Amino acid sequence: MSAPGTSAITAAEVAQSVRNGATTAAAVLEAHLATIAAREPDIHAFNLVTADRARERAAHIDDQVAKGIDPGPLAGVTVALKDNMCTHGVPTTCSSKILEGWVPPYDATVVSVLQAAGAVVVGKTNLDEFAMGSSTENSAFGPTRNPHDTSRVPGGSSGGSAAAVAAGFSQFSLGSDTGGSIRQPAALCGVVGVKPTYGYVSRYGLVAFASSLDQIGPFTNTVADSALVLDVIGGHDPLDSTSIPKAHPSLVSVLDQGVEGLRVGRITDLPAGADPDVQERLEAAFDALQSAGATIVDVQVPAFTFGLTAYYLIAPAEASSNLARYDGVRYGLRVDAPDTNAMYGATRAAGFGDEVKRRIMLGTYALSAGYYDAYYGKALKVRRLIHDDFQRAYQHADVLLTPTSPSVAFPFGSKGDNPFAMYLCDTYTIPTNLAGHPGMSVPYGTGADGLPVGVQVLAGTLQEPTMFRVAAALERSLGDSK
């Protein structure tokens, strides 16, 4: 089951070995840099590999260990960051020409927290421009290729982060998920990917796409590693006014609790569209959970099917507002013009790619006078319906199980010129973002052409502990069948 290039040891094991002196952060890092040197030219997971900085950090951690100081729960563990998270002194581009070369004057909270826990940042990963896309084909710097088959996409928008973990370039990575941008690439690359409850992880320093939907989460090789990372990065941050003002219970501590007595919901009115090979793996997952002691129950989420429409009105509306800041004044690209209005129009035309322009225009339209009630206002009401339908389902089920992606990884260019064909990739992931609930993708065997298939576990607000118990049980069931 292991992905190509994946090291057999987990982040938890690396941290333990570095802390007790069995290995060094430098040795761990050099092994990953060697893998990057060998395979990155084929994969293009990174916009930037920060080898020198990483070597300094690793040396610092080894120095701490030598002095008897504990570097933290992620001591010497390598991490790749989606290139929409601000890193002080290291360029942050969002894979857009409009931010090419921009060097942030501060760190995102997740970056400071990871470093304080001993993690070593190896680089910034490629994404669909401003996280808008499901294949990483929209990057201004060229696509990332799927480590399982380089003729196929890794998914998106966090395709670089998913590919980095799948290819063994880093022990884990961080992505952001607005409508499925962690879970869908995790499924396509055969790794674990988690979108936590909205507000679980600070968004301070995450370049905003759609602020009421964006959430940061991990990509890892194992469910336990995702729990470990979330235990480190989760929690309240005074710098993010939407961060939930309370501490989260440990996820690592619930992994062995099993699923005896849990109710696992099957959504009987889920929109059609999943390929038979994906559906087959979902059925296998239901069977495995039942064998492990869970009860399978039927539930309905009637408004699920309206998720795409609500999302593609709300997310572009928020994006059109958030991306107004790229105006050639304070950072990034400027195209000179005789007055400011002409400068804005020329700068934004030159700096943004087609998909970003399309969403800015769609969002501006949905918010404009005469159309606000018909589009944006209506979408907000549909969002409420989706949220309430999920809440009703969670009265009968502790978690819900769905496909993550309708298909395995698809070939480059296969969605053609029709933007909506690409949007359909997120059919099963989007409603969760609208509701603000957590969801995660767990690799669950292979489908067509031997490519990875992910199963999605969904839960209600702050029900991460239950979601992780189910994910851990799924992972164990795969081990049993090997």
Partner 1 sequence: MSDRISAADVAKVARLSRLDVTSEEIDRMTVQLDGMLEHFADIDALDLAAVEPMTQPYPLVNVFRADVPQPCLDREEVLAAAPAAEDGRFRVPPTVGYEP
CB of 388 to partner 1, least distance (A): 9
Contacts to partner 1 from residues 322-341, by CB under 8 A: 324, 327-334, 336-341
**Which pair of tokens denotes residue 188?**
């396509």
# binding residues, partner 1 (CB under 8 A): 70
Contact pick of 384, 392, 396, 414 for partner 1 (by CB under 8 A)? 384
Q: Which of 135, 157, 176, 407 is catalytic?
A: 157
Q: Which is nearer to partner 1, 78 or 320 (CB)?
A: 320
Nearer to partner 1, 11 or 313 (CB): 313
CB atoms closer than 10 angstroms to residue 374: 11
Under rule CB under 8 A, which residues in 149-208 are in contact with partner 1? Answer: 198-199
Alpha helices in 135-275 (DSSP H): 159-166, 183-189, 223-233
Nearer to partner 1, 45 or 356 (CB): 356
- Catalytic: 82? yes
Q: How far is the CB of 215 from partner 1 (least distance, A)?
A: 10
For partner 1, give the closer residue by CB, 220 or 429.
429
Active site residue: 17, 82, 320, 441, which one? 82
In the chain, how long is the greatest CA-to-CA distance? Answer: 70
Start-to-end Cα distance in the chain: 8
Q: Taking the CA atoms of the chain, what radius of gyration do you get in angstroms?
A: 21
* Annotation marks residue 477 as catalytic: no
Catalytic pick among 135, 139, 170, 181: 181
Among 310, 315, 451, 472, indicate the residue that binds partner 1 (CB under 8 A).
310
Which residues within the stretch 447-476 sit at the binding site for partner 1 (CB under 8 A)?
461
Question: With respect to partner 1, which residue has the nearer C-beta, 21 or 101?
Answer: 101
Count CB-CB contacts under 10 A for residue 424.
Answer: 16
Pair of tokens at residue 235: 């929690």
Query: Per DSSP, what are the bridge partners of residue 146?
Result: 149
- Tell me how far, at minimum, the Cβ of 230 lies from partner 1, in Å: 17
Active site residue 157: yes
User: How many whole angstroms separate alpha carbon 296 and alpha carbon 400?
Assistant: 9
**Pair type for strands 216-220 and 172-176:** antiparallel
Number of residues in the chain: 482
How far is residue 222 from each of residues 21, 99, 218, 229, 411, measured CA to CA in Å?
23, 34, 11, 11, 26
How far from 481 is each of 266, 444, 468, CA to CA, in Å?
Answer: 23, 11, 20
Give the C-alpha separation, 414 to 6, whole Å: 28
Does position 140 interact with partner 1 (CB under 8 A)? The reply is: no
Q: How far apart are CA 436 and CA 430, in angstroms?
A: 10
CA-to-CA dists, residue 430 to 176, 438, 467, angstroms: 13, 11, 17
Minimum gap (Å) between residue 304 Cβ and partner 1: 12
Closest by CA to 134, choosing from 430, 432, 400, is 430
To the nearest whole angstrom, how small is the minimum distance from the Cβ of residue 166 to partner 1?
Answer: 30
Site for partner 1 contains 249 (CB under 8 A): no
Q: How far is the CB of 309 from partner 1 (least distance, A)?
A: 5
SS3 assignment for 410-467 = CECCCCCCCHHHHHHHHCCCHHHHHHCCCEEEEEEEECHHHCEEEEEEEECCCCHHHH
Measured from the CB atom, the residue of 71 and 460 that comes closer to partner 1 is: 460
Instruction: Kindly state whether residue 219 participates in binding partner 1, applying the rule CB under 8 A.
Output: no
Sites for partner 1 among residues 51-110 (CB under 8 A):
102-106
Q: Is the dihedral of CA 64, 65, 68, 71 positive or negative?
A: positive
Residue 286 found at the interface with partner 1 (CB under 8 A)? no
Identified binder of partner 1 from the candidate list 117, 164, 227, 382, rule CB under 8 A: 382
Q: What angle do CA 4, 432, 107 make, to 5 degrees?
A: 65
Closest to partner 1 by CB, 178 vs 221, is 178
Q: Which range, of 58-66, 148-156, 274-282, 307-315, touches partner 1 by CB under 8 A?
A: 307-315
Query: At its nearest, how many Å lie between partner 1 and the CB of residue 375?
Result: 7
The closest alpha carbon to 382, from 344, 435, 319, 327, belongs to 435
Over the window 401 to 420, marking each residue x when it contacts partner 1 by CB under 8 A and - when it does not, the resulting string is -----------------xxx
Cβ atoms of 127 and 136 within 8 Å: the answer is yes
**Sheet arrangement for strand 399-403:** 46-49, 120-125, 78-82, 172-176, 216-220, 192-195, 439-446, 452-459, 399-403, 263-267, 295-299
Using the rule CB under 8 A, is 392 a contact of partner 1? no
Among 162, 166, 208, 244, binds partner 1 (CB under 8 A): 244
Only one residue has tokens 């800015």, namely 360
297 touching partner 1, by CB under 8 A: no
Dist. CA 386–CA 376, nearest whole Å = 15
Q: Smallest distance, Å, CB 316 to partner 1?
A: 9
* Residue 402 or 432 having the CB closest to partner 1: 432
Written as six digits, the tokens of 142 are: 């060229």
* Site membership for partner 1, residue 343 (CB under 8 A): yes
Q: Which residues are catalytic?
A: 82, 157, 181
What is the binding site for partner 1 (CB under 8 A)?
A: 102-106, 198-199, 212, 238, 241-242, 244, 305-306, 308-310, 312-313, 320, 324, 327-334, 336-346, 348-349, 352, 357-358, 360-362, 364-365, 368, 375, 377-385, 387, 418-420, 434-437, 461
